[in-house]
Structure 1
Amino acid sequence: MWYAPVVVSLPIADRPASYRFYRDGLGLDAVGEPAEDGVPEPLQFAVNDGLRVMLVPTGGFGWVIGTHEVAPRGQSECVLSLPAATPEEANRLIERARAAGAEVVVEPEQRPWGYTGAFADPDGHLWMVVAEPA
């Protein structure tokens, strides 16, 4: 069975702020036509050919998950990873995210599994940037 693209949905508080962060901070392309507020609806970004991130306002997210609770800000259930070709590229991506409002939670540095750093988007969702060792 083939699932493509896979869509990861994340709850958000502010559609325009999240749209700007993912577009400007991560350089991702939005999928779909803009709604009346200028933000695509549904708000999805193509990470690559096989993965999209859909950002859903908290109220609408509740419709999907029913009585299941969303992890509070500061408690994460997953970490999304972005690859970088080099440590310099990883640094640039993390700095671009920081400039767009991300909180860098782990400054980039060399670790046994690669050069990596992590940031939280405006809603606290964690993203790790990894440049694998040569």
Structure 2
Amino acid sequence: MEPRVSFVTLGVSDIARARAFYEILGFRASSASNANVTFFDGGGIVLALYGRAPLADDAGLADSAPGFSGVALAHNVRTETEVAATLAEAEAAGGKIVKPAQRAFWGGHSGYFADPDGHLWEVAYNPGFPIDEHGRVTLPFDAA
């Protein structure tokens, strides 16, 4: 397998509501979107919104109650002050602040919000993982 993540699909209870939330945050829906699925360019990864029950059915699983799933999406920013500003944008768009912006144990600054369906997003400034001119995180690698 080539190491790559192509899509992240979020199961949502109301596609139109979820689409509006992410559009307020600045995501732009692809023309390939329709009433049953929305596709956003996530900076090299596609963020897709799909009905929660149909997504569970497609995977052959029973739908379960929303809650902590053990997964958090992340949006890294270029400065510490952007963490609080981005969390405020998410809250104004209808998200819920789960953890306000604060100094992180790993030396950066972060906080969390949940989208209207409870999907967890971390907003983080990490001085060890700079963001390039295309908005992508640059990971450090030791020379082998």
User: TM-score, normalised to structure 2's length?
Assistant: 0.78
Is the 1:115–1:133 contact (alpha carbons within 8 Å) kept by the matching residues of 2?
A: no
- 2:73 corresponds to which of 60, 63, 80: 80
* Contact 1:71/1:77 (8 A) holds in 2: no
Conserved? CA contact 2:53–2:63, under 8 Å: no
2:82 partner SS: helix
The structure 2 residue matched to 1:48, chosen from 43, 49, 53, is: 43
Measured in 2, the distance between the counterparts of 1:133 and 1:4 equals 24
Residue in 1 aligned with 2:21?
Answer: 21
The match for 1:133 is: 127
Using CA pairs under 8 Å that are at least 6 residues apart, name the structure with larger relative contact order, 1 or 2: 1
The reply on whether 1:110 has 2:109 as its aligned counterpart is: no
What is the identity, as a one-letter code, of the residue corresponding to 2:38?
L
Length, aligned pairs only: 127
Q: Does 1:100 align with 2:93?
A: yes
> Based on CA coordinates, which of the two structures has the bigger radius of gyration?
2
| Per-residue deviation, 1:112 | 2.2
Gaps of 5+ in 2: 129-144
Identity %: 28
Query: How far off its partner does 1:45 sit?
Result: 1.2
Structure 1 length-normalised TM: 0.83
Find runs of 4+ consecutive structure 1 residues off by over 4 angstroms: 1-5
Read off the aligned partner of 1:32 and give its amino acid letter.
S
Structure 1's unaligned 5+ residue stretches are none
Q: Which amino acid aligns with 2:43?
A: N
Q: Which has the higher strand share?
A: 1
What is the CA distance between 1:16 and its match in structure 2? 1.2
The amino acid that maps onto 1:17 is R
Q: State the one-letter code of the partner of 2:30.
A: V
* C-alpha displacement of 1:65: 1.3
Distance change in 2, residues 1:107/1:71 (3 Å): farther
Q: Which amino acid aligns with 1:102?
A: G
CA distance in 2, matches of 1:78, 1:72: 15
Aligned partner of 1:21: which letter? F
Q: Give per-residue Cα distances to partners, 1:9-67, cap 9 Å, x unaligned.
A: 1110111110110110x2112122454xxx5x531111102x11111112321232112
